[in-house]
Copies of this chain bind each other. A is one copy, B any other.
Amino acid sequence: MGKASLDCEHTLALAVREAAGEPCPPLLAKALDYAVFPGGARVRPRLCLAVALANGNSEPRLASAAASAIELLHCASLVHDDLPCFDDAIERRGKPSLHAAFGERIAVLAGDALIVAAFQQLSQLGSRLSHPVRLATVTGIVARGVGGPMGICAGQAWECEARVDLEHYHRSKTGALFVAATTAGAASAGVDPASWRQLGESIGEAYQVADDIQDAVADPDVIGKPTGIDVALDRPSAVRELGLEGAVKRLERCIEEGLDSIPDCEGSALLRKVVQAQSNRFFPQGIKHSAA
């Protein structure tokens, strides 16, 4: 389970090249590339691939396609999230947000095209798998992580309600795609996805809390996007709810719960190390991590 095998850049590049190839209109083509490269930490696809590897990775193409589909869907959600009608963010990953660079229309279309590209890429595996029946299972898992009633779209839609169900809000806005990552990784390797749900939920919650902490304390120049959004938009946040110290404690507990939930499997010891290493990045610089 070497470092290189958690890398999905090549699969992502193929998917973008396909969606943005001839005769794609030039602006949309550029925007698709801009939305995906250079990437962030690629936390979700790495988690997906790490779970597949820990379980023997008996269908590596499917695991790669699932990981890459999940990242494409994540990128799509960032593009639509940044739109003027939502966060109205002008910066993302240290560069202008997509709509700031290409206009609002191309941003809507690029998000749409990335969602389609995610499923197109999975469908292309078609008859090229040793276990073709896993394809539909994995595709369904990925779809549930992003659509209604409890994928990212649903999570984002809670922000439009007068009364927010906080648990469903966080679970769907952030948790759902992490759950998709762990369960799709398991399903691609032919393992029961259900026992890998908890890892996704815990790491998803950890990520959400880490994001709230970052929004409250990080330096915008360091993280490449504006901060203070939660307070400005009056959004629920772990820091607003628990204070900074309480939020850091919850973050630590989520990571531990995630690690404890990892089922016995061939590569569980190595997987624990990968999850631990990824999770350490959730702590912004200057925030003390008691286990560090």
Enumerate chain A interface residues (CB-CB to B < 8 A).
Answer: 18-29, 32, 76, 80, 83, 85-86, 103-106, 108-109, 111-113, 115-117, 119-120, 122-127, 132-133, 135-137, 139-140, 143-144, 146-151, 153-154, 156-161, 165, 168, 172
Tell me which of B120, B127, B147 contacts A113 (CB under 8 A).
Answer: B147
A143 contact from B111, B120, B137, Cβ within 8 A: B120
Q: Which of B19, B29, B147, B160 contacts A103 (CB 8 A)?
A: B160
Minimum Cβ distance to chain B for residue A165 (Å): 7
Bound: A153/B27 CA distance, A: 12
Query: Taking the nearest CB of chain B, how far is it from the CB of A62, in angstroms?
Result: 11
Minimum Cβ distance to chain B for residue A183 (Å): 14
Assembly CA distance A150 to B137 (angstroms): 28
Contacts of A76 in B (CB 8 A): 112
Distance A259 CA – B111 CA, assembled complex (angstroms)? 36
Tell me the bound Cα distance from A76 to B147 in angstroms: 13
Partner of A132, one of B83, B111, B133, B144: B133
Question: Is the Cβ of B120 less than 8 Å from the Cβ of A108?
Answer: no
Known: A80-B112, A85-B108, A109-B160; 7 extra A-B contacts, CB below 8 A, are A24-B157, A27-B157, A83-B108, A105-B160, A106-B157, A126-B140, A135-B136
Q: Which residues of B contact A24 (CB under 8 A)?
A: 148-150, 154, 157
CA distance A144 to B135 in the complex (A): 18
Please give, as numbers and ranges, the residues of chain B lying within 8 Å of A157 by CB-CB distance: 24-25, 27-28, 105-106, 109
Residue of B nearest to A23 (CB): B168
Is B116's CB under 8 angstroms from A143's CB?
yes
Closest to A16 in B: B148
- In the bound complex, residues from chain B placing their C-beta under 8 Å from that of A112 are 76, 80, 111-112, 115, 146-147, 153
Candidates B105, B140, B150; contact of A86 at CB < 8 Å:
B105
The reply to whether A116 and B153 form a contact with Cβ atoms under 8 Å apart is: yes
The 8 Å CB contact of A147, one of B19, B122, B135, is B19
